[in-house]
Amino acid sequence: MPVKILFCSQDRYFGDHLNLALSEDPRSFQVLYFTDSQRAVDFLERSGEEVQCILGSPRFLRLMDLADGLQIALGEETSLEAPLTVNMYQRRQDLVDDLKNILRANDLLAAASVRHSSTKILSFFSTQGGSGKTTLAYLTAIKAAEQGKTAYLNLETAPCVEPLYTPCGTVGAEEYICAVKDREDPTRTILPALTRNSHGVFVLPIPGSIRDQQDITGEDLGYLLEILLRYGELDYIILDLSSTLGDLSLKAMEQSDRVALVYGDDRMGDKKRQLFLQDPGFSAMPCAGKELIVGNQCRQKYTDGRYNVSFPHSNTLTQVSDVRVVLQGNPDMEKGCAELINF
């Protein structure tokens, strides 16, 4: 059942846009929208209408009776602890997601009970250092975000994302990792830790030390993916794996729909690719049968089938401050990312 919300905003521009965003999800929200606070109060008193949630400015909420419904204030940050607040200055979709998290934490909105059948998990792996795996994984996440809600998780031993994007969010990595390991209520810490960055990609906090990253086990990753699939309403999950074939990488491959094996189009990349694919133990690995062989920095177009997806040689990556420009200015790069997410 949708949550019936009494929403009041005297800022008509903001109110109209948020009302539209909430109304586009009728399975979650039924909105009673007002731009005049006194009219909203009078309506509730005279109509006898019962609502589960009241959303508005702190000043408006002071006019309401606590018994009328769960009160959530529009403010400068989101808080799942009393007094409940949702950040009104973020993107509309992020605001809606935060509102859902608060409603779930207060048992007013149920989580989906099964994985969304449309959610696709794509992992990126390579046994070749410097293959460009991380860059391609993140560019693919940017492209996927244009088509649907996308999360990018960097699971490398020593993750470095600053050249790609600026980490965001108010939940720290240590707090988020502890929440995963303790299997705490995901609406309290894990889901709030998932924030949309400037490229429209949802990301989690990056651990500040290698030890913190190593604390995440394959079992922890399985739990985290279960939470994201159940609560996150995601269309795509992009996993950027360490080159080490440890518990974490193997679990990620097992959970993935496809695994992109990235190699540079040079002698070293060619040799590393052949050794890995021709290894006697490859057929028993969780990536076998769902691998996509990806050639990176290709100086020519191949017709011999050595790669499932090819990315051209590009100097743009070393010259721009925003990696999104790479997709905007290079149709072949954009085409490669599109091919990977449309498996």
**CATH number of the domain where residue 199 is located:** 3.40.50.300
Kindly state whether residues 82 and 7 are assigned to the same domain: yes
Pair (270, 168) in one structural domain: yes
Nearest partner of 102 among 85, 114, 77, judged by Cα: 85
pTM for the full model? 0.76
Domain coverage including residue 18: 3-105
Choosing from 82, 105, 128, the residue where a domain stops is 105
**Residue 113, domain member (yes or no):** no
Query: Are the CB atoms for 327 and 141 separated by under 8 Å?
Result: no
Same-domain status, 149 and 278 = yes
User: Is the residue at 114 inside a domain?
Assistant: no
> Where residue 88 sits, what CATH number does that domain have?
3.40.50.10850
Q: How many CB atoms lie within 10 A of CB 228?
A: 23
Angle between helices 218-231 and 173-181 (to 10 degrees): 100
* Model pLDDT for residues 233-284, shown as the tens digit of each residue: 899 999 999 998 899 999 999 999 999 999 999 999 999 999 999 999 998 8
Q: Is there a single domain that holds both residue 59 and residue 159?
A: no
Q: CB 191: neighbour CB atoms within 10 A?
A: 24
**Per-residue b/e over 6-40, b at no fewer than 16 CB within 10 Å?**
bbbbeeeeebeebbebbeeeeebbebbbbeebeeb
Residue 115 lies in a domain: no
- Domain stop point among 105, 137, 170: 105
CA separation, residue 78 to residues 81, 90, 99, 186 (Å)? 9, 10, 9, 15
**Is 54 inside a domain boundary?**
yes
Shared domain for 217 and 321, answered yes or no, is yes
Q: Do 23 and 71 sit in the same domain of this protein? A: yes
| End residue of a domain, out of 38, 70, 105 | 105
Closest CA to 129 of 313, 315, 272: 272
Return the SS3 of 201. Answer: coil
Q: Are residues 24 and 164 in the same domain?
A: no
Whole-number Å distance between alpha carbons of 154 and 329? 25
If you compute the radius of gyration of the chain from its CA atoms, what whole number of angstroms results? 23
Residues 157 and 207 in one domain: yes
Examine the pLDDT at 75 and tell me if it is beyond 80: yes
- Please indicate, yes or no, if residue 98 is contained in any of the structural domains: yes
Shared domain for 293 and 176, answered yes or no, is yes
For residue 88, CA distances in Å to 33, 57, 79 come to 16, 10, 12
Query: Does residue 305 form part of some domain?
Result: yes
In the chain, the number of structural domains is 2
Per-residue pLDDT of 169-212, as tens digits, reads: 788 899 999 999 999 889 889 999 999 999 999 999 998 888 88
- Residue 114 pLDDT > 70, yes or no? no
- In 176-224, DSSP assigns E strands to 195-196, 202-203
Look at residue 67 in the predicted model and tell me its pLDDT.
85
Q: Are 164 and 131 found together in one domain?
A: yes
Strands 291-298 and 309-312: parallel
Q: With beta carbons less than 8 A apart as the criterion, state whether 89 and 98 touch.
A: no
